[in-house]
Amino acid sequence: MFKGSQSNQRLRELKKRLKEENPVLSQVVDSFRELDQISRRLGYFNKEDSHATRTSWWPLISVLGIYSSGKSTFINHYLRQKLQATGNQAVDEKFTVICFTNDDRVRVLPGLALDADPRFPFYKISRAIEEVAEGEGQRVDTYLQLKTCPSEMLRGKILIDSPGFDADAQRTSTLRITDHIIDLSDLVLVFFDARHPESGSMRDTLEHLVGRTINRRDSNKFLYILNQIDNTALEDNTEEVFAAWQRALAQYGLTAGRCYAIYIPEVAVAIEDETVRSRFVSKRDAYLGEIFDRIERVGEERAYRIVGMLEETAQLLEQDIVPRIRRFISNWRRKVFWLDGIIFSGLLGAVLAVLFWAGYLKELSIPPPFLENLPGGNYTLISLGSVLLLFIGYVHFSVRRWAAKTVTQKMVAEIKDAELHPFYRRVFKKNSRWYRSILNRQPPGWSNRTHRRLAEVLKDTNAYIQKLNDMYTNPAGDKTFIQVMGPKTFEETQIGEPHKTDTKEIDQD
């Protein structure tokens, strides 16, 4: 079905690429295709929609934080290139997606390049922006841009640099994009400024992020980074500043995630005292080493994220989408029955009242005598019956349309994620079409066989997890075990001078 659609063509290309990179994920593509077919039969998807395009198949690292917290400086240091503009004030108001290129030059492409390409994390983001801010979806270039960079550190992964975070000043559409990239990311680096560790911008950041991290099963993907800690060297109160910042994090409920205190060597404050400088360098290198190691391991985390997304989508279909469709059908049927009953009872009562007033029903003389005098006899009576049936049908189907519209508006308004509204409008419309019997309680495309197919997909997700575990772990200690897709060694991922990986001294401080 839809073999020639662009959606299936993209999935075939994706599967072909993943066969070489990660065979397990190439099998996951087939499971996503199975969910797509179920969603299309339900009417939730059209032929070009796909659950697979709602997640990023590339390892994805997002960099968030307050203004002047050194996000861009950190990215430049990691890439070993001066790619992002830096400064103490906001220097870029756009979300910048950074990906690898084989060219020697850096290119800056408009947001449309992201919005129209399902391989990137912002595919069709303009639709989501339009839902929360009418008219803004057409201005996607003001929110997004794509940068290509030849740095080898980017090969096989995508970085997203966000504009400085200030929730009070943010437009709703910008916050929507922020939430979107948090959900898609395998690793989220949240930066704060050690010069102003408890500023208003920090509180805005925490107030928004706290709702995104508490009770998340992937809360360990958040790394909280206090940057530019070298500015505390003159007072030599690093531990006090770091502890105060951690208390602020805990106050807002962000107890999950790892905390770091770093500074970037290229823009560091000169530290004259050799003892203090040595201590700062040691801690900085250890923390940066741990952060870089997490970045290098996002490929592994990406694989588990995508399998988790498959499981979540299958559960969403069975536990949320289908029950919501059933509730729509139930509410729609109930409203149609009530309205039909009220309208036709009222019309029948009015007709009987007129006949009684005219004297035809005083002695229960049914049918009224005037019917016997109609020209054409029975033919005219049949015609009147046909007109009456057409009138009843017109009223009934008008009631069905009106009831479907009102129930749809009410139920769509209950759905918080505005990006899902078009899908639910489509599926509700399909379930209330004129040819659908009002007596049918079951959504079209849903059956015991469909239920079994979903159960098989959920069963497959457990098998995929086991296969991934076999690739990355060796609990039996088998000496012949080969870690097929393990991360690079730290020596291959370090930037600048070698970083120590032992953080026990820092944690004790």
Count: domains in the chain: 1
CA atoms within 13 A on the CB side of 108: 9
Dihedral of the alpha carbons of 440, 441, 445, 449, in degrees to the nearest 10:
-110
Q: Is residue 224 part of a domain?
A: yes
Cβ neighbours around 469 below 10 Å, total: 12
Q: Is residue 473 part of a domain?
A: no
CA distance 328 to 138: 32
CA distance 487 to 61: 16
CA distance 14 to 32: 12
The DSSP-derived string for 445-496 is T--HHHHHHHHHHHHHHHHHHHHHHHHH--TT--TT---TTPPPPHHHH--S
Phi, psi of 383 (to 5 degrees): -65, -45
Q: Is residue 339 part of a domain?
A: no
Beta strands in 107-236 (DSSP E): 107-110, 144-149, 158-161, 187-193, 222-227
Q: Is residue 23 part of a domain?
A: no
Run of H or E including 405 = helix 378-414
CA distance 163 to 64: 8
For residues 128 and 419, the answer to whether their CB atoms sit within 8 Å is yes
Over the stretch 211-229, which tens digit does the pLDDT of each residue have? 566 667 777 888 989 898 8
* pLDDT digit string (tens) for the chain, length 509 residues: 445 567 778 788 888 878 877 888 889 999 999 999 999 999 999 888 888 877 778 888 999 887 778 888 999 999 988 888 776 555 567 888 899 988 888 898 888 888 877 667 777 777 767 666 667 667 777 888 889 999 999 888 899 998 876 555 456 667 777 887 888 889 999 888 887 766 555 666 666 766 566 667 777 888 989 898 888 877 777 888 888 887 777 777 766 568 898 999 888 888 888 888 898 899 999 999 999 999 988 888 888 889 998 999 999 999 999 999 999 999 999 999 999 999 989 988 887 787 677 666 655 555 555 555 555 555 555 666 678 889 889 999 999 999 999 999 999 999 887 778 889 999 999 999 988 888 888 898 899 999 999 999 999 999 999 999 888 876 665 655 444 433 333 233 333 333 333 333 333 33
For residues 193 and 165, the answer to whether their CB atoms sit within 8 Å is no
Give bridge partners of residue 149 from the DSSP assignment: 100
For residues 154 and 79, the answer to whether their CB atoms sit within 8 Å is yes
Residue closest to 122 by CA, chosen among 50, 181, 64, 173: 181
Q: Is residue 443 part of a domain?
A: no
CA distance 334 to 328: 10
Residue closest to 457 by CA, chosen among 54, 29, 43: 29
Q: Is residue 413 part of a domain?
A: no
Give bridge partners of residue 198 from the DSSP assignment: none
Contacts of 407 (CB under 8 A, 6+ apart): 328, 331, 332, 335, 428
Contacts of 410 (CB under 8 A, 6+ apart): 331
CA distance 137 to 348: 51
Where would I find the H helices in 189-237?
200-213
Pair of tokens at residue 149: 């960079």
SS (H, E, C) 28-61: HHHHHHHHHHHHHHHCCCCCCCCHHHHCCCCCEE
Q: What is the pLDDT of residue 184?
A: 82
Over the stretch 10-58, which tens digit does the pLDDT of each residue have? 788 888 878 877 888 889 999 999 999 999 999 999 888 888 877 778 8
Q: Is residue 325 part of a domain?
A: no
Instruction: Specify the DSSP class assigned to residue 254.
Output: -
Q: What is the pLDDT of residue 75?
A: 92
CA distance 63 to 74: 9
CA atoms within 13 A on the CB side of 3: 0
- Expressed in percent and rounded to 5, the helix, strand and coil fractions of the chain are 60, 10, 35
For residues 154 and 161, the answer to whether their CB atoms sit within 8 Å is no
Query: In CATH, what number is assigned to the domain containing residue 129?
Result: 3.40.50.300
Give bridge partners of residue 226 from the DSSP assignment: 192, 261
Q: Is residue 372 part of a domain?
A: no
Give bridge partners of residue 444 from the DSSP assignment: none
| Count of residues making up the chain | 509
Domain carrying residue 184: 55-296+491-508
